[in-house]
Structure 1
Amino acid sequence: MPSHLTASFPAGHPRPGASVPRPDGSSAPVQRLRPDEVFGAYGTSVRGLSGAEAGARLGYYGPNQLPRPRRKGMWRRFAAQFTDLFAVVLIVASGLTFLAYALQDPRDVGNLQLAFAILGVVLLNAVIGFVQEYSAERTAQTLQAMVPHTCRVLRDGERLELPSGALVPGDVVALEAGDAVSADCRVVEAHGLSVNNAPLTGESSAVGRVSEQTAADTALDSRNCVFMGTTVVSGSGKAVVYASGAATEFGRIYRLTDEAPQQKTPLQREVAVMARRVAALAVAIGAGVFALRLQTGQPLVSAFVFALGVMVALVPEGLPATLSVSLAIGVRRMARRQALVKRLLAVEALGSTTVICTDKTGTLTQAEMTVTQLWSDGASHTVSGVGYAPAGEVAGADGVRALLRAGALCTDARLVPPERSEGWRVLGDTTEGAILVAAAKAGLDTAAEKEAAPRIGEFPFDPVRKLMSTAHRTSRGGLLCVKGAPQELLARCDRVRRAGGDEELTGPLRDAVVAADDEMAGRGLRVLGVAVRPVDAVPDRAEEAEAGLTFLGLIGMLDPPRPEVSEAVRACHRAGIRIVMLTGDHPLTAEAIARRVGIVTDPSPTVVTGSRLDAMDADALDGLLAGSGQLLLCRVSPEHKMRVVAALQARGEVVAVTGDGANDAPALKHADIGVAMGATGTDVAREASEMVLLDDSFASITAAVELGRSVYRNIRKFLAYLFSHNLAELAPILAAAFAGFPLVPLTAIQILAIDLGSDVLPALALGAEPPEPDTMDRPPRSRRERLFSAELVRRFVFLGLVQSIGVCTVFFWQVHSAGIPFADFTSGDPAYRKAITLTQAAIVVSQFFNSLAVRTDRQSVFTVGLFSNPRLIAAGCFGILLMAAISYTPWLQDVFHTAPLALADWAVLAGFGVLLLTAEEVRKWWVRRTPAPAGASAGNAAGTSVGKATGNAAGTSVGKAAGNAAGTSVGKAAGNEKEETP
């Protein structure tokens, strides 16, 4: 340890909960130290560190920042584009073509042109893929980081505002309501201090903090520590930094996230398999043709060039670029739906999702406490409006104004009106903010009320008492206002406010209050009681003050679900997607929200806590996840979430994980696709995810699933389009080989012109087809389903055969009409040049009609509209015009060895195109009149029936389930759980 650091300061970052030295020579974890011992253990004092000491520690420990994620350099990422198997095959083909050019005597400049053309294709694909990935990544990096930029620190006894990165262990920081905590700290002074730990633990309730030593095993479980990334919601205090940067709890989760491997998407795996098979097939057929040409006495180089044309014909050169741009179109469509995709392949991964593991707070809910019900004098009053905007009304407001006035006086929070881009927000405890909003809805001016009744004393909230009291001076004398857990408050009341005045709180009246509390809590509301008593002077002790109270009523509130979530959940169920809630919150709170949004409709869902997960081995966990029932996992840690995701993936599920907190980050990265919240999410969560919801809405996930499914179906469409013409390119080459024709009917450079010049734009237009109406009424595709399924292969083989017949017909018709023996044909012969021109044009024209045919799987293209995709028509016309330019432009004729075509030639080619479209329409007609296989029917039925059942249950039974299924015992338990915060 450097000599300039305080000798008593422990070397190295102390881990949360690690033992640190006491003045007497013993050691203990930081949470078990007394406040005065904390200063000594960390070499600081109540005046904070000196500037020199802080500078030395900053140099030793480094800035208080999380390490930047490890990223490959731009050149390495660009170079990675050339590792695609299609790119490797083309690079090898280009190298062999260069070799063929070098070995030929005389050398054929056409081979040199071909070699450069193939390299150009590889480079073009790489540039397109890199630009699309880099663009998505750069867009994601514009999101704001969560960790605060400044904090208030004591240095040399002076209070300074410094960048959060300047904090070091031993610094004394000042905490006030609304502050974001910048490092892990041990509280040494607390005045009604409470903190929202949701970003770290997932628990939405504010938790009180104390300065006294505790016996907790870890700092994270201790009530005298605060952590980086959390927020102070009420009170004030001071704390000593004991861990900064990577040593914080945020840093621990970051390391856990960084260690999680990047999962390949289903499409990545499918494309890799397809590439291997196509490459192997191309090499095998090329080698066979090479051997066959040698057997017929062809020169070695000539036979090799012929075989190379076969290989190039089989490799879909335009596929990588088409795939990248098609996915990019999906990215842009998702961005318009408030979903930012950082990695192109994540678009399709979401579309194949079978399970969504969702967080609760901020994802399903608005993360804004809202009063929805009031109870006073035996009557219930509903409150409309959600969030912190004081827009709404209180039913029968006259009967609850006294209740809301007392509740508003007994608060430390402040309601902040909209400014700049921010809406209404609460500075302080969100529960207290909800009371202020309800009071405003009832017509009370809370600021004027507090000014008319200034506070003269208070007893801050205590988790043991579960109460908070404030004393006020009013025009009628002193008034004590108390709010807190109904059961604790009721035990201190002997009177109740009624319409006719205050009455004795008799047994029946007390039972009525308890029943109202149970009813409200049973619906998932957090319930607070409010009481008052006149005082002449502020009592010395809380126990003395909080006695002989007059009960006013109950305030019920909740973090409301987002209004659009219920419909989104129903859409997911219709689509056959299972939703599992993973939350750090209390089981009863989680179940109540799950019922409200329709995730839970069963009377008895399976609810499992983190402690139960710890006791489960792999087989037990697999059995739990194998069940088809509704599942809620509560009080879970980051490790639990990641373990559940891994177990689901091991079962063959495609898992999407949603979350906003740092505690969600490991699971977000481990999932097939991680979905983070953009507005309220932490930077750790956003960094770990592949998709960011800019509006934080679960409904955006549903829209993204629909688009993802559409992307996959569109990929299947343009695969059928691309591979059918690959067969049409291969067929005349093989036919010429077997017929003994000495020259190739289609040169490799012509093939490249077709693949890139005439096919890419129509394929992109197919990739931009909108989702079909029944997209979300089908179950997810099986993980075992191959991209190259038997159905897809049958379709492109059928289309390819029809095209091949036309292409071979026009080639050999032109060759025979020349009246020249096969052996006498040369590459410069006009008849040969026209024959290969006809071959190329036949493929281009038939592909135009092919693009119209593949737009639908079963439905007639005339039903959806032959010209309803204008981009596709324009792309096809461009390809035909390009072919005409190759046929008629002299310098392009020299490059491609082509000849001009007559009008009659184009008419014949168009006739073959109409024949192709007609054949496909006949096939679709036959498919439509043939009953679907039982498996497919069952699958669709399952998907639809699940949706209908879920939709009906959600629409008609959620209220009953939420109100009745939980029962009175749930209400009491929820009441006990919610009493932790006033």
Structure 2
Amino acid sequence: MTAREAGSPVTGAGGPGRAAAEGGAGPAAPRGDEVRTLPAEEVFEALGTSPRGLSTAGTAALRARWGPNELPPAARGRLWRRLAAQFTDLFAVVLLIASAITFLAYGLQDPRDAGTLQLAVAIWCVVVLNAAIGFAQEYSAERTAESLQAMVRHTCRVLRDGERREIPSQEVLPGDVVVLEAGDAVPADCRLVEAHEVSVNNAALTGESDAVGRTAHPVAAGPVLQARNCVFMGTDVTAGSAKAVVFATGTATEFGKIFRLTAAAPRQRTPLQRQVALMARRVAGTALAIGALLFLVRLPTGQPFVETFVFALGVMVALVPEGLPATLSVSLAIGVRRMARRHALVKQLLAVEALGSTTVVCTDKTGTLTQAEMTVVRIWSGGTEHAVTGVGYAPDGEVDDPGPVRELLRVGALCSNARLVPPSEHHGWRVLGDTTEGALLVAARKAGLDQAAEEAAAPRVAEHPFDSGRKLMSTVHRDTGTGGFLVYAKGAPQELLGRCAAADWAGEHRPLTDALRAEVLAANDRLATQGLRVLAVARRPASDPRLDRATAESELTLLGLVGMLDPPRPEVSEAVAACRRAGIRIVMVTGDHPLTAEAVARRVGIVTGAAPAVLTGAEFEALDDDGLDALLGRPGELLLCRVSPEDKMRVVGALHRSGEVVAVTGDGANDAPALKHADIGVAMGASGTDVAREAAVMVLLDDSFASIAAAVRLGRSVYQNIRKFLVYVFSSNIGELVPIVAATFAGFPLVPISAVQILAIDLGTDVLPALALGAEPPEPDVMDRPPRSRSERLFSTAVMGRILFLGGIQAIGVTTVFFWHIHASGVPWADLDEDDLVYREAVTLVHAGIVLSQFFVALAVRTDRQSLLRIGLLSNPWLLAAGCFGITIMAGISYLPPLQALFDTAPLGPGDWALLAGLGSLVLVAEELRKMWLRRRGSTAAKGATR
């Protein structure tokens, strides 16, 4: 006896009772451990709903009672705690220790030197400023990630008032009847009431990744997660289809109970972040070694111990690139936002790094290269072709002589899980579900068929869902006219034809002889050669709706073929050409017929030669690993057709063995393993399944291959920008260090530039230009270069050479200016002190010389090979503004008395500024000449390679 039969309401947490469904308060609905014992027909009443789902009129009251179906965001630490965490960074710890030592040295000095106190305060200010910048960037990055994640739609299909609707997952309510298919993420905890060979991946809850079968029958009491007739939020449907009633949402779900434990887990650092951290440690170690060396060299000259120690400590601190972490964060954040504007949502920073080195893209066809708006244009039946007019999902058009093919279209439409949605205020005609099935529904309407009436006349009683191995699906229907049952099937012609024993030929039932079979295959090839995707449709009578799949899909009668066209996206051809120029190989991996795949590949430019390598699934499976490696290792154009998701996994593995960096596109649940295994898994945001989107590290919001090419271009520019500001920052350090080293070894008693001045350069005039370089747009030829090697480090030989080249020029310039000014004054070195005007002018010349030189360095490093004149001086206004801001600060340090006292500077004359500007421009001229030489050398090498 059920609780309902006993007259007492079943109560629990997680859902509404009947009164709640009608808008009242009502008792709570039973939990999963209660509804699982009920027969499917009793579940609806127990959960206050019906097979038609909730009524729209009652959802407002339910939503007010139960709230949104979402989990609360992971708890973040309080703002002050997160700000305090910024002071635990390696650079911050080093600087805090240095500041404390400097304060201590100031206390030990007798007499005390105000400059030591200034240095200690300056170092402390550096720490505070860095912490503020780091905190601001972290806070901004979190907000950016949240806003970008919101761009990916999380929807599900439910029944409301008996109609199937697509709604945001957050709007799912207890009592909703959810429609689930392979590839869907389960939106809430549900009890199954109808199941067709359903399997679910419960890894998110149980840790077991193997798919487990599900049933709609009652089960005995026991642990909730072991209930085979329940599905839970956070899990994925891997096969089959089902209907289920929601009994728990949001935090009341099983997943909600453990969410807070997992949501607070710390994020792992990406390889790029680890590489930068290692570089920072090495730089800090180098700065410490240089400081110690200068201390040991200056100590024997008779300088006081404390002053010498403070000097060396100040130099060491000044050589640490304090602004590097913030600049890195800005560059990556800008890159991610730019990719989002190009419809590519990057979920992990690792993808930004890997995109720049992608060498192979394994792309599917439908929806990625094409528009994903399948349209039936040809129907073949009984030896005759029938044209179909109209394009897209709007049922505008007609079928030529529809009578002979009306039954074919009726069977194809009934053997479908998609739904055609009429236009609304915000959308035109669209399809919920598979686009191929949507095309069949549209064609059936063009032939005058009423889908609702046909479903009522032949209601579905069983289903054998599509899977990639069989490449077909079948459904069992009850014929209300005769009381018997019929099996309807559709799928790949080669697969379905092998299961057919007869054909419906111009209204006659004929045995499928070898001659007829050959005629069908020839018609299939004719349609495929036109670039059409071809489906075969068949049927058979059945005495029992519970036939096993093998029996149901045997002895079928072929009704005919349907040819569909999915036109290529207009922007794809240009994107394919860009990938070719960039040295990226494109391999089409599709489940379509080889002739169809080749026709589309030629239209978009993936295939240009006369004889590309084309392999079918059967040929592919016959290859062992060595044969596959040899096939993929050969240069040339390659199409893999009629392949399974397991085959796609083998392709990715073979490409990895050969050292390729692989990006893979996918949209189905079966694509998830390949998406995870690839370096860059790219899921379709519009048509892809929830499982595919979760497995991928990048989601294409518009499903277009052109967005992949744009993301690769932006990914390359992000990595280049990181290198640009590394060259900019470290070339400045050389310009700061060389004058000090030169003065130390020349026996000059004072320093050409003080530690406080270096800190002013690093944070006052270097940080903003470095940040602006992180926002540098991609260079015009960024897609004309081969992919970089994944083993290539940030500090490559070329980067180090460029740092030494640019830093060396400005270092020689400012060192020469300093000693020239001292020499021209005629004052002996021994007579100079820190208050001497000549010395203060010389120090100001060095300080201003580095600032102006760095302005020209910032312009010079904007491109690797292209001339600055080609990209335009004004194409990055933020960089010009940042440079002008730094020069303005330098002018204030030179002319404003309070800043003169703080930095020990003196006013410069117009001639001094002109001299420094001329020296700084030498850096830009020298770099332009170097780029010209590189371009000429590259051009010569290219000509030699073509001979």
TM-score (norm 1): 0.70
Q: Using the TM superposition, give the Cα deviation of residue 515 of structure 1 relative to its aligned residue in structure 2, in angstroms.
A: 3.0
Instruction: Note if contact 2:568-2:600 (Cα within 8 Å) is conserved in structure 1.
Output: no
1:257-296 equivalence runs, <5 A: 265=270, 267-296=272-301
1:479-558 equivalence runs, <5 A: 484=490, 487=497, 491-493=501-503, 495-496=505-506, 511-517=518-524, 519-520=526-527, 525-529=533-537, 553-557=560-564
1:100 maps to which residue? 105
Q: Distance in 2 between matches of 1:874 and 1:738?
A: 38
Instruction: Note if contact 2:533-2:596 (Cα within 8 Å) is conserved in structure 1.
Output: no
Instruction: Note if contact 2:69-2:249 (Cα within 8 Å) is conserved in structure 1.
Output: no
Q: Distance in 2 between matches of 1:276 and 1:750?
A: 24
Q: Does 1:907 align with 2:914?
A: yes
**Secondary structure, counterpart of 2:506 in structure 1:** strand
1:537-936 equivalence runs, <5 A: 553-557=560-564, 564-565=571-572, 567-578=574-585, 602-605=612-615, 630=638, 635-636=644-645, 653-656=660-663, 658-659=665-666, 673-680=680-687, 690-930=697-937
1:111 maps to which residue? 119
CA 1:835–1:247 in structure 2 vs 1: closer, same or farther (change >3 Å)?
A: same
2:59 maps to which residue? none
Q: Does 1:43 align with 2:37?
A: yes
CA 1:765–1:261 in structure 2 vs 1: closer, same or farther (change >3 Å)?
A: closer
Q: Using the TM superposition, give the Cα deviation of residue 317 of structure 1 relative to its aligned residue in structure 2, in angstroms.
A: 2.5
Cα deviations by residue, 1:261-280 (Å, 9 ceiling, x for unpaired)? 97755533442343233222
Q: Using the TM superposition, give the Cα deviation of residue 292 of structure 1 relative to its aligned residue in structure 2, in angstroms.
A: 0.7
Q: Distance in 1 between matches of 2:433 and 2:796?
A: 57
**Secondary structure, counterpart of 1:781 in structure 2:** coil
Q: Does 1:137 align with 2:145?
A: yes
Root mean square deviation of aligned Cα? 6.1
When structure 1 is superposed on structure 2, of 855-864 and 735-744 the one drifting more is: 855-864
Q: Does 1:122 align with 2:127?
A: no
Q: Using the TM superposition, give the Cα deviation of residue 247 of structure 1 relative to its aligned residue in structure 2, in angstroms.
A: 11
Aligned residue type for 2:335: G
Aligned residues: 847
Q: Distance in 1 between matches of 2:805 and 2:717?
A: 24
TM-score (norm 2): 0.72
Aligned residue type for 2:750: L
Q: Using the TM superposition, give the Cα deviation of residue 399 of structure 1 relative to its aligned residue in structure 2, in angstroms.
A: 3.3
Instruction: Note if contact 1:470-1:481 (Cα within 8 Å) is conserved in structure 2.
Output: no
Aligned residue type for 1:48: V
Q: Using the TM superposition, give the Cα deviation of residue 492 of structure 1 relative to its aligned residue in structure 2, in angstroms.
A: 4.6
Q: Distance in 1 between matches of 2:859 and 2:797?
A: 22
CA 1:835–1:628 in structure 2 vs 1: closer, same or farther (change >3 Å)?
A: same
1:403 maps to which residue? 405
Instruction: Note if contact 1:149-1:165 (Cα within 8 Å) is conserved in structure 2.
Output: no
2:308 maps to which residue? 303
When structure 1 is superposed on structure 2, of 399-408 and 715-724 the one drifting more is: 399-408
When structure 1 is superposed on structure 2, of 416-425 and 796-805 the one drifting more is: 416-425
Q: Using the TM superposition, give the Cα deviation of residue 705 of structure 1 relative to its aligned residue in structure 2, in angstroms.
A: 0.6
**Secondary structure, counterpart of 2:289 in structure 1:** helix
Q: Distance in 1 between matches of 2:924 and 2:723?
A: 18
**Secondary structure, counterpart of 2:536 in structure 1:** strand
Instruction: Note if contact 2:645-2:674 (Cα within 8 Å) is conserved in structure 1.
Output: no
Instruction: Note if contact 1:609-1:634 (Cα within 8 Å) is conserved in structure 2.
Output: no
1:30 maps to which residue? none
CA 1:366–1:263 in structure 2 vs 1: closer, same or farther (change >3 Å)?
A: farther
When structure 1 is superposed on structure 2, of 796-805 and 140-149 the one drifting more is: 140-149
1:431-470 equivalence runs, <5 A: 431-440=436-445, 442=446, 444-447=447-450, 456-457=457-458, 466=474
**Secondary structure, counterpart of 2:703 in structure 1:** coil
Instruction: Note if contact 2:503-2:509 (Cα within 8 Å) is conserved in structure 1.
Output: no
Q: Distance in 2 between matches of 1:378 and 1:530?
A: 16
Instruction: Note if contact 1:887-1:898 (Cα within 8 Å) is conserved in structure 2.
Output: yes
Q: Distance in 2 between matches of 1:40 and 1:859?
A: 70
Over the matched positions of the two proteins, sequence identity in percent amounts to: 54
**Secondary structure, counterpart of 1:48 in structure 2:** helix
1:331 maps to which residue? 336
2:325 maps to which residue? 320
Aligned residue type for 1:118: V
Q: Using the TM superposition, give the Cα deviation of residue 841 of structure 1 relative to its aligned residue in structure 2, in angstroms.
A: 0.8
Instruction: Note if contact 2:532-2:565 (Cα within 8 Å) is conserved in structure 1.
Output: yes
**Secondary structure, counterpart of 2:519 in structure 1:** helix
Aligned residue type for 1:353: T
CA 1:869–1:742 in structure 2 vs 1: closer, same or farther (change >3 Å)?
A: same
Q: Distance in 1 between matches of 2:200 and 2:308?
A: 72
Instruction: Note if contact 2:379-2:388 (Cα within 8 Å) is conserved in structure 1.
Output: yes
Q: Distance in 1 between matches of 2:534 and 2:252?
A: 36
For structure 1, the 5+ residue unaligned runs are 1-5, 7-37, 55-62, 154-161, 201-207, 214-222, 474-479, 946-982
Q: Using the TM superposition, give the Cα deviation of residue 571 of structure 1 relative to its aligned residue in structure 2, in angstroms.
A: 3.5
Q: Using the TM superposition, give the Cα deviation of residue 53 of structure 1 relative to its aligned residue in structure 2, in angstroms.
A: 14
Aligned residue type for 1:716: R
For structure 2, the 5+ residue unaligned runs are 1-5, 7-31, 50-66, 162-168, 204-212, 219-227, 466-472
Cα deviations by residue, 1:453-501 (Å, 9 ceiling, x for unpaired)? 896456767659957678699xxxxxx997757648974556515xxxx
Aligned residue type for 2:405: L
CA 1:428–1:845 in structure 2 vs 1: closer, same or farther (change >3 Å)?
A: closer
Cα deviations by residue, 1:405-464 (Å, 9 ceiling, x for unpaired)? 762487446521122444433357765532231245x5x5544x977x896456767659
CA 1:817–1:789 in structure 2 vs 1: closer, same or farther (change >3 Å)?
A: same
Instruction: Note if contact 1:282-1:311 (Cα within 8 Å) is conserved in structure 2.
Output: yes
